[in-house]
């Protein structure tokens, strides 16, 4: 038991589903039934496909938490994401009531899990967004750079990604923040390689980090590298996935960051969109536009089961 599968590696195939909750008591009770069954559904998939390592995460948006679970306290940092408006780029805030992050090493297994969940919720929810992500070569974003290198691992992953003793009631939970980004691939591909490397702050082919003498202050890995007052690095767990519909000219990154405290993710976002100092916004945003932005709370397995009875 403990936390849902928030510290897992990004995986090979992923499905991200965001739903809105329909009105009425029947819709609420269908969601609560799923809270009670969710662990068993994931367990069954693991038994059926042990080699595909299926996993799933179930989260809730701020607007439905109180409505669904009137008798429960509210996770401290669960709120409707407040948009961040920089001088040039905006981190938009978009609706999302229920969230699922499904991973497996094969898309058919991820699909099977997604379809079981969807069938359980039929009539209770409406579609808001769905993205199918894939591992691209050696774990690269669709813009060609390796993603996830600086992710925390082992104990660090748990302490940065999962709520601990500091919040006894919500221990084992996590704040999941998602953004669906679309890339301007034409502009990106026209950018010479050394310039692309300055945007990300790493070498494209070898993934080596640029030295401080060449890394610009507005490189992506410069603005997202943050510390606490004592100078200790603050991290989040990222499990981004590329997605694409080439015939539509659509190329994207589905960003997902899990954190034990949303304030860490929010600070990274402020640095990216507003800049610190103001104006030093993330150059990656000149090639990447978020079209969604939603915060969810992911309860521990134990709390999820309790929510079924609320
Ligand atoms: C278009 C969307 C994004 C893309 C394509 C992207 C891609 C990347 C890449 C290629 C790296 C370098 C390798 C690594 O350490 O993972 C990186 C690092 C990082 N990204 Fe992103 N990212 C995106 C959005 C975000 C957002 C929205 C956040 C935070 C809210 C974020 C937080 C980070 C952090 C913390 C690092 C590590 C920085 C360090 O070196 O300490 N990224 N990202």
Q: What is the pLDDT along the chain (310 residues), one digit of tens a residue?
A: 699 999 999 999 999 999 999 999 999 999 999 999 999 999 999 999 999 999 999 999 999 999 999 999 999 999 999 999 999 999 999 999 999 999 999 999 999 999 999 999 999 999 999 999 999 999 999 999 999 999 999 999 999 999 999 999 999 999 999 999 999 999 999 999 999 999 999 999 999 999 999 999 999 999 999 999 999 999 999 999 999 999 999 999 999 999 999 999 999 999 999 999 999 999 999 999 999 999 999 999 999 999 999 7
What is the number of the ligand 1 atom nearest to the C-alpha of 91? 27
Please count the other Cβ atoms lying within 10 Å of the Cβ belonging to residue 28.
19
Enter the tokens of residue 87.
Answer: 């001088």
Q: Is the CB of 269 under 6 A from ligand 1?
A: yes
Q: DSSP secondary-structure letter at 276? A: T
What is the number of the ligand 1 atom nearest to the C-alpha of 179? 27
The residues carrying an active-site annotation are: 147
CA dihedral angle for residue 87, residue 282, residue 178, residue 258, rounded to 10 degrees: -130
Placement of tokens 């690095």 in the chain: 233
Q: Is the CB of 265 under 6 A from ligand 1?
A: yes
CA distance 143 to 182: 11
Enter the tokens of residue 10.
Answer: 């990004």
Placement of tokens 């929810």 in the chain: 125
CA distance 176 to 76: 14
What is the number of the ligand 1 atom nearest to the C-alpha of 269? 30
Q: Is the CB of 263 under 6 A from ligand 1?
A: no
* Strand residue runs (E) in the chain: 13-21, 55-61, 84-85, 90-91, 98-104, 125-134, 174-183, 226-227, 233-234, 237-238, 241-245, 250-259, 288-290, 294-298
């Amino acid at each position: 038991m403990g936390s849902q599968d928030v510290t897992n590696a990004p995986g090979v195939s992923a499905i991200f589903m965001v739903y809105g909750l329909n009105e009425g008591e029947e819709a609420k009770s269908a969601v609560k039934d799923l809270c009670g069954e969710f662990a068993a559904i994931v367990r069954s998939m693991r038994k059926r496909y042990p080699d595909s390592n299926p996993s799933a995460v179930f989260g809730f948006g701020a607007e439905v938490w109180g409505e669904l679970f009137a008798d429960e306290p509210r996770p401290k940092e669960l709120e409707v994401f407040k948009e961040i408006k920089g001088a040039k780029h905006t981190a938009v805030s978009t609706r999302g009531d229920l969230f699922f992050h499904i991973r497996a090493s094969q898309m058919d297994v991820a699909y099977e899990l997604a379809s079981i969940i969807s069938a359980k919720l039929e009539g209770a929810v409406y579609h808001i967004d769905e993205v199918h992500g894939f591992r691209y070569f050696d774990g690269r974003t669709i813009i060609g750079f390796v993603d996830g290198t600086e992710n925390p691992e082992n104990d660090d992953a748990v302490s940065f990604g999962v709520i601990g003793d500091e919040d006894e009631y919500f221990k084992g939970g996590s704040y999941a923040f998602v953004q669906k980004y679309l890339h301007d691939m034409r502009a990106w591909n026209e950018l010479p390689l050394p310039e692309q490397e300055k945007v990300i702050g790493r070498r494209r082919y070898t993934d080596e980090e640029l030295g401080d003498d060449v890394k610009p202050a507005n490189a992506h890995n410069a603005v997202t590298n943050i510390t606490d007052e004592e100078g200790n690095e603050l991290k989040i767990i990222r499990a981004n996935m590329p997605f694409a519909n080439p015939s539509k000219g659509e190329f994207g990154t589905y960003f997902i960051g899990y954190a034990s405290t949303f304030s860490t993710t929010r600070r990274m976002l402020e640095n990216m969109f507003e800049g610190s100092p103001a104006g030093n916004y993330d150059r990656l945003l000149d090639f990447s536009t978020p079209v969604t932005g939603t915060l969810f709370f992911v309860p521990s397995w134990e709390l999820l089961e309790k929510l079924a009875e609320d």
